[in-house]
Structure 1
Amino acid sequence: MTVIIFLIILAVLVFFHELGHFVVAKWSGIRVDEFGLGFPPKVFGIRYGETLYSLNLIPFGGFVRIFGETPEELVSGVTSTPDSLIAKSKWTQALVLIAGVTANIILAWLFLSIALGVGVPMSVEGVPASAIVEDIHLTILTIVPGTPAAKVGLKTGDQVLLLTRAGEELVPTSAKQAINFISTSGDGLSIKVVTSKGETVDYRVKPEMGLIAGAPNQPALGVILGQVGTVAFAWWQAPWQAFKMTISLTKLTVQGLGHLAVQAVQGLATLDSVTGPVGLAGLVGDARTLGLAYLLSFVAFISINLAVLNLIPFPALDGGRLLFVLIESIKGSPIKPRIANILNLIGFVLLLSLMFVVTWHDISRLL
C-alpha cells in the first residue's frame, strides 16, 4: 500500500509541475504537442485538439513536449512559426520554464493550508497564540548518528513517556527537565517511548560524554527534545500560516542544498544526506502512520524540494534551460543546437546515474 501511495503522490507532484508548463505555454499561444505522465515507452495516449495526452511506463517523472523547444526544431526553421516556443520573447520562454516550479510551490501551499486547517503534529515552540494546540508530548526531534540514542534504536518522532534510573522515575514535562535527568544518569537509564506506529517500547541506554559542544564533561544521549503537539488554525487563518510556512520551508531547502553543495566541493558530502525514490517511499509510509494532515504536510515538503531542485542551473533541468535562455539573451543569438544537445544529454545521463546510485544506497540501508 505504501508503494501505491508513493506512486500516486509522485504522479500528482509531476502532474502539477508539468501542468504549470502546459498552462503557461497555452496561455502564451504556444503549441503543446504532448503532455506525458511518466517516461516512455508509452502505455497509451489520447489526442485532444493539438495535444497528445500520454501515460508512460516509467513512473518516475513526466514531461510536456512544447513545439519549438528542441535544438533540432531551431535548425528546421520554426522560429518563423508564431506558435513555437523559440518564436516567443525570452521573457515568455522564461515564464514557461519557471511555471512548473511555481506550480509545485502553489501545490505545497495548498496542501499545507489543508493540513494546518485539520491539525498537524509539529513543534509548539513559537506557535502563534491564535493556534489551536492539543495533545502535547515531549518528543525526540533529532537523533545524532553514532550516538547512544541512535545505537539502541531510538527514532525521531518517538514520544518520551518515562525516564527511570536506579529505582527513580520521572515523567518529563519539558526538554530541560529530561536533559537534567539524563545528564545525571552516568550509569545508564531506561527510556519508555511511544513510537510513530503507536507501540510502547523500553530502551536501556547509557549516556556518553563529549557529545555536547561547550560541555564535553556532560553526559548526553545525542538527541534533541522538544514539545510537539497537534497544531491547527481556523479556516481563514490556515492559508496565511501555510504561506509563511511555505516561504520558510523554501528558504530552508535552498540553504540545505547550498550546504550540501559546499560539502560536495570540499569532498565532505555523503549519500546519507540524500534520499532517493526508495527512501522517500519509506518516509511516506512513516508519514502515513501519523495521519492524513501530516502526510499532506510531508508531500508539501517534497513538492518544495522538487521545485528547488528543478531550479538548479544544470542541463536537463528547468534551471539549466533557464540558464540557456539567459545566455542567449546576453549573446543575442541561440546556442548552437549541437552544443545544447550534448550538454542536455550529459546532464540527463548524470541525473539518471545519480538517481541509480542514490536508489542503490537506499536499498542497501534496508538490507
Structure 2
Amino acid sequence: MSFFQSLAAVLTPAGLLWTIIIIGIATFLHELAHYALARWQGVAVKSFSVGMGPVVLRRGWRGTEWRLSALPIGGYVEIDGMAPEPGPDGGARPPQRGFALLPAWGKIAVLLAGPLMNLLLAILLMTVTFTAQGVPAPDRARIESVVANSAAQKLGLRAGDVITAIDGRDLPPTVTVAGRDAPGWEAVRDTLTRAGRHVFTVERGGQSTDLAFDWTPTVNGQRQLLGIRYGPDVVPTTLPAAFATSWRVTAQAVPQVVQSFAGLFKRFLTLDISRDENVSGPIGTAEIVSQAARVSPWALVQVATLLNLSLAFFNLIPIPGLDGGRILLVLVGALRGRPLSFAQEQAINLAGFAFVMLLMVFVVVRDVSRFF
C-alpha cells in the first residue's frame, strides 16, 4: 500500500474539514485575544490574518488590515512595536513605539492573553460536556463494550454494566497503578494483573450482582485479555458543579501534559521517530479527528477540548519564539531593572524560533514515517 493509500485509509474528508474548523477556531480566538489586549492598551495592530501564506482576501477595519490567507492552518497578528523596525542605515533597530513602550505587566498581558483564551475555551467545552453528559465518577467503572466470545462475555458481563466493587471492596476514588496515582476505576486493570479468584460486583438495571471468576494473566507467555472496553461511569450534575469539575480536571492534566512535552523534547534530542501516542503532529491530529467524527459530535467536542489545552500549555513553554519565551524575556528584563539589549533579544528569539521550527519538522517527519 502506497503512502497516499495509507493516508486515505485513516483520514476522511469530513475528518479533514473538522480538523480545519477546530484548529481554525482555536487559532482565531488565540490571536483575537492578543489583538484585544493590545488594542485595549492603545497599541495598534497592523494586520490580523486567518490562515497562513499568500493573502487571498484583505479588508481594512478599525486601523487593522484583516486578511484571509491561502493555507487554512494557523494565523497571526502583527502588533505595532513588537517586531524590529528598519533603521536609517537599512538595518534593523529596536522598535520605538506601541508594544515596545508598554510596561512589563502590559506586555505580559498581551502575550498571556492567547494561551489563556485557549485554556478558557477548553474549560468552557468541558463544562458544556459535563453538564450535558454528566461528570466522571472515579469510583465506578462502566463497561462500554464486550468482545464477542471473550472471557468477559462467558462470565456474563454486558455493555452498560457498572463495576462498583472488586473482591468485596468498593472501588476507591484513587488507586495506585504501575507506580502512579490513577482514578479508582483503573483498579479493574490492576486486578487483571493478578492471578487467582476475583469477584466483580456489577450494577445492572438498578440491582447489584456478584460475578466470580478464576483469572490467569498470562498463559504460555501470552498476555490474556478479559475482553472489555471500559472507562469511568458518569453521573448527572449541575452547571456550577460541571464548571468546578472542569477546573479540577484541567489542574490534574497539567503533570500529564508536562510529561508528554518532556517526552517529545527527549525524542527530538535523541532523534527517536518512533510513534508516541501522547503527542500528535498534523496527520495524527487529523486522524484522531476523523475517528471522532465517526463516533459522535461529543467526541469532536472532546478532541477540541484536548487540542485547546495542548495549545495553551505548549504556548506557555518558556522557549523564545513562543508566548512563554517572550514572557520569560520580559520578566528577565523586569528583574534586571532594564530590558535585554536589542542584539541579545534578537539572538535569543532567533535561536528559539529555529528550535521550534526544527521541532515542528521533527513532529511532521515522525508523523509521516509510520506510513512507510
TM-score (norm 2): 0.70
Deviation of the 1:355 alpha carbon: 2.1
Deviation of the 1:241 alpha carbon: 2.2
Q: Structure 2 vs 1, CA of residues 327 and 222 (structure 1 numbering), >3 Å: closer, same or farther? A: farther
Residue in structure 2 matched with residue 17 of structure 1 by the alignment: 30
Partner Cα separation in structure 2 for residue 183 and residue 254 of structure 1: 31
Q: Structure 2 vs 1, CA of residues 260 and 76 (structure 1 numbering), >3 Å: closer, same or farther? A: closer
Q: Structure 2 vs 1, CA of residues 32 and 246 (structure 1 numbering), >3 Å: closer, same or farther? A: same
Residue in structure 2 matched with residue 302 of structure 1 by the alignment: 307
Residue in structure 1 matched with residue 68 of structure 2 by the alignment: 55
Q: Secondary structure at the match of 2:357?
A: helix
Q: Secondary structure at the match of 1:313?
A: coil
Q: Structure 2 vs 1, CA of residues 41 and 271 (structure 1 numbering), >3 Å: closer, same or farther? A: farther
Alignment of 1:27-46 (within 5 A): 27-46=40-59
Does structure 2 retain, via aligned residues, the 8 Å contact 1:72–1:337? no
Matching residue's letter, 1:105: L
Segments of structure 2 that go 5 or more residues without pairing to the other structure are: 1-13, 168-187, 197-215
Q: Does residue 334 of the first structure (1) align with residue 339 of the second (2)?
A: yes
Deviation of the 1:111 alpha carbon: 0.8
Q: Secondary structure at the match of 1:44?
A: strand
Does structure 1 retain, via aligned residues, the 8 Å contact 2:85–2:94? no
Q: In structure 2, which of residues 279, 287, 290 is the aligned counterpart of residue 282 of structure 1?
A: 287
Q: In structure 1, which of residues 234, 255, 264 is the aligned counterpart of residue 238 of structure 2?
A: 234
Q: Structure 2 vs 1, CA of residues 77 and 267 (structure 1 numbering), >3 Å: closer, same or farther? A: closer
Residue in structure 1 matched with residue 209 of structure 2 by the alignment: none
Partner Cα separation in structure 1 for residue 38 and residue 362 of structure 2: 34
Does structure 2 retain, via aligned residues, the 8 Å contact 1:161–1:171? no
Q: In structure 2, which of residues 252, 272, 275 is the aligned counterpart of residue 272 of structure 1?
A: 275
Q: Structure 2 vs 1, CA of residues 107 and 227 (structure 1 numbering), >3 Å: closer, same or farther? A: closer
Does structure 1 retain, via aligned residues, the 8 Å contact 2:138–2:233? no
Partner Cα separation in structure 2 for residue 181 and residue 119 of structure 1: 29
Does structure 1 retain, via aligned residues, the 8 Å contact 2:123–2:246? yes
Q: Does residue 169 of the first structure (1) align with residue 154 of the second (2)?
A: yes
Partner Cα separation in structure 2 for residue 223 and residue 363 of structure 1: 32
Q: In structure 2, which of residues 363, 368, 372 is the aligned counterpart of residue 363 of structure 1?
A: 368
Deviation of the 1:343 alpha carbon: 3.4
Partner Cα separation in structure 2 for residue 231 and residue 293 of structure 1: 16
Does structure 2 retain, via aligned residues, the 8 Å contact 1:18–1:64? yes
Segments of structure 1 that go 5 or more residues without pairing to the other structure are: 128-135, 140-158, 186-205, 211-216
Q: Secondary structure at the match of 2:154?
A: strand
The one-character-per-residue Cα deviations of 1:217-237 (angstroms, maximum 9, x if unpaired) are 995449996444455433343
Q: Structure 2 vs 1, CA of residues 50 and 268 (structure 1 numbering), >3 Å: closer, same or farther? A: closer
Partner Cα separation in structure 1 for residue 52 and residue 271 of structure 2: 33
**Superposition CA RMSD, Å:** 3.7
TM-score (norm 1): 0.71
Residue in structure 1 matched with residue 323 of structure 2 by the alignment: 318
Q: Secondary structure at the match of 2:238?
A: coil
Partner Cα separation in structure 1 for residue 132 and residue 324 of structure 2: 35
Partner Cα separation in structure 2 for residue 220 and residue 268 of structure 1: 34
The one-character-per-residue Cα deviations of 1:4-43 (angstroms, maximum 9, x if unpaired) are 1000100001011111111111111111111112222222
The one-character-per-residue Cα deviations of 1:189-237 (angstroms, maximum 9, x if unpaired) are xxxxxxxxxxxxxxxxx96469xxxxxx995449996444455433343
Q: Secondary structure at the match of 1:70?
A: coil
Matching residue's letter, 1:90: A
The one-character-per-residue Cα deviations of 1:306-337 (angstroms, maximum 9, x if unpaired) are 11111111121111111221222233333333
Partner Cα separation in structure 2 for residue 224 and residue 312 of structure 1: 38
Q: Structure 2 vs 1, CA of residues 337 and 73 (structure 1 numbering), >3 Å: closer, same or farther? A: farther
Q: Secondary structure at the match of 1:245?
A: helix
Matching residue's letter, 2:115: V
Query: How many equivalent residue pairs?
Result: 308
